Structure 1
């Protein structure tokens, strides 16, 4: 067995040097016997500087109590994914997530190994964001005239489709109480806009609104971000407010809640039940008064089935549930939403685009929009980027190629035979004209067969018959057999 290990030892060393985590191995005296390239990159040192050196020579800022390698050697204390901040030989501040294990032979500790992931840049950004939020929170407390921090209002939300209006109606009712709210729907449907709108009509509208994406922060940092930290909670930790404290008396929006670590979900549940938080490393509980709005980009049923959200937390949050419809479910709103983006990009591009051609609008209506409103906005923005100076109408050839089944538009589609949709439009009339054109096209493809046309349009035969009579479409096909 030893000969086999010796045979592969060079391969093991090669593997440890190419993996994307730092590996540092010390002997029983704390002297370095292995130090891979990634660990050298994390520490900003050369391997030659480190091999043979003692851990306290390499990391003078660490002590017997703060060095995880020393604790593993002397006390057999192992750590799993703990945050460690230290200063290297160059005087640079390094933050990593470390897992440290004792190495045994015949029951005796012969060394220790540390596996590290560099989060120095992430920690720097985290510190800046938390400090900025803390400053805003302090400013709010000191100023009697400091307005709320949410931007959007219900008046900014566009759409008349029944499913969307039902969501708006429920959101307005939810704003009247302090109960938690759960919003779910696909990415790009405007969940944060709804959350901000709820805040801005609630009794908390002049208090802080803080939004945090639970998927954007490593789980090791998330607890400190939520609840705050006390000095000494981990190496490098300082006394700092978490976002619950910063949002006190206001609203906290937790997006992508299903990405939150299950252990943190349990602590979040306690906060909801007790109305108290405790900073990481702290010993005192603090009362907080925060309205929680949570959001998920999958359905609650799927999240529960996949066990990525605790059922007790979900049922505690699920007092008011708002389902945001996809853009595919509210296609009638596309012309108005597209017109909104034209207004927006006219200002940012200093342009004077008047509207969208009918062919281009039909293309927008036919596309399924998996990225929802966000994707529609990107499509209109792209059109602004490719339009020639002086053009005032978005046509098919200005739209992204992926909107076309073949991946490109046809030459005939670039000809606009209809007047553009201008910014001041009669939306019901425009929608009726588009609907009539789509029914005529499908009626032609189905050779005037009403049943097949109704099936192709995914509407009932009686409904299609009404629309045929309404638009006088059957007259176009006199002489053909209809069934």
Structure 2
């Protein structure tokens, strides 16, 4: 009995360990059937464990004619294969690309299986295939930047002055403040405007992929690698925007600093330094001093990048610009959707001015676009047209009646059913009054069907006041 318990405990520890590894692990037996398949491998291949476990590899995955399963190859030859790139398809036809280290499992001179440790590069391969690392369309100029706030205007003026030089620029601002809009405007107003503008979000891909993307790779750097220029080479003569520079690993930041200082780049696996002429614009979504003190940004890289520093204030600090931005987005989506929305009602205007806008201008635009999708022939955006997620976050006011319901708990703890009954009754009454007891509009604003609302009105005995 004790032996069985120990055995179960060891199996549980093994399962926890294998699933905690941040790499795909796939093991097959000598028949080619899967016997170990961890959580990360499921994520990489988009499969469930029951779809793969105890099934022959070729029943589940398909390989191109000139491709061969690295697991089956090692099972056959008994020779390890390291850093091999492999592209194949899962049972649903979805393409997967991994870089694998594969080893035979040998017991008493017999090959009894093969194991593979896989790193996912599917996203990178698709990006390369779609040529998304080449020159991007730069749509924005300073004419597209909206706002009269004094601090915001200072950022615009600093950016315009920066167009005359080739110095590095660091744009500081919260997510959604329009950092890329400023970067594109600087590029388009500079002598480099006819050359490439290349942008990369440093937080979008893991460091193992970012390094090859930035600096390029030499054929043979790892099995399956090809001769490929990095972003620095692709941006030659133009501008390279590195978004969220603080998300890069410090070791990569050191390599980046060296490239910027020496104006030369060396592809991974190469011995040749290639001269580059690229202007660097970097962005950071937090205070650089905080990033430096908490080891997210190297001090020497900060000094190199911040020759020109541009601070974009958050939207909550630009209240006077909210009305102008709102009018711009209403006009934009009227044109896109063929609608004729005029303005916001007074309640929504008040809410917009009181809200903190953690997502900044981007969030404001998304809220306006979301409202358009909930409107039909109305010309004024009302509270019930706003996306429900925004309404839940914004909490424009705390009604006295709701406070009474909540703080009654200080005197007496009511049963939960009773509390929920009172709260739901009050909130439905409030919504009905707001929409003048129009059932259709009230149901829509509450996110329920007319029949569901009418059922609750009858259930709670809600009556229209005289």
Residues 29-428 of structure 1 correspond to what in structure 2 (within 5 A)?
35-36=36-37, 42=45, 47-49=54-56, 59=70, 70=80, 84-85=85-86, 95-96=97-98, 114-120=116-122, 122-129=123-130, 131-134=131-134, 149-389=137-377, 391-400=378-387, 401-402=391-392, 403=394, 404-406=396-398
TM-score (norm 1): 0.68
- Cα distance 1:201–1:62, how it changes in 2: closer, same or farther (>3 A)? farther
- Cα distance 1:364–1:411, how it changes in 2: closer, same or farther (>3 A)? farther
How many matched pairs?
A: 380
Q: Which runs of 5+ in 1 are unaligned?
A: 72-78, 137-147, 416-483
1:307 shift after superposition: 0.2
Aligned to 2:454: none
SS of 2:148's equivalent? coil
Contact 2:105–2:114 (Cα < 8 Å) also in 1 = yes
Q: Which runs of 5+ in 2 are unaligned?
A: 59-66, 400-426, 437-466
Contact 1:35–1:50 (Cα < 8 Å) also in 2 = no
Alpha-carbon distance between aligned partners in 2 of 1:32 and 1:99, rounded to the nearest angstrom: 19
Moved more, 8-17 or 214-223: 8-17
1:357 shift after superposition: 2.8
Alpha-carbon distance between aligned partners in 2 of 1:46 and 1:3, rounded to the nearest angstrom: 23
Alpha-carbon distance between aligned partners in 2 of 1:270 and 1:83, rounded to the nearest angstrom: 29
Aligned to 1:473: none
Cα deviation code 1:424-446 (max 9, x no counterpart): xxxxxxxxxxxxxxxxxxxxxxx
1:111 shift after superposition: 11
TM-score (norm 2): 0.70
Residues 441-480 of structure 1 correspond to what in structure 2 (within 5 A)?
none
SS of 1:133's equivalent? coil
Contact 1:345–1:384 (Cα < 8 Å) also in 2 = yes
1:117 shift after superposition: 4.0
Alpha-carbon distance between aligned partners in 2 of 1:23 and 1:2, rounded to the nearest angstrom: 28
Alpha-carbon distance between aligned partners in 2 of 1:165 and 1:204, rounded to the nearest angstrom: 24
Alpha-carbon distance between aligned partners in 2 of 1:209 and 1:159, rounded to the nearest angstrom: 25
Alpha-carbon distance between aligned partners in 1 of 2:195 and 2:217, rounded to the nearest angstrom: 23
Contact 2:171–2:283 (Cα < 8 Å) also in 1 = yes
1:96 shift after superposition: 2.8
Alpha-carbon distance between aligned partners in 2 of 1:316 and 1:226, rounded to the nearest angstrom: 18
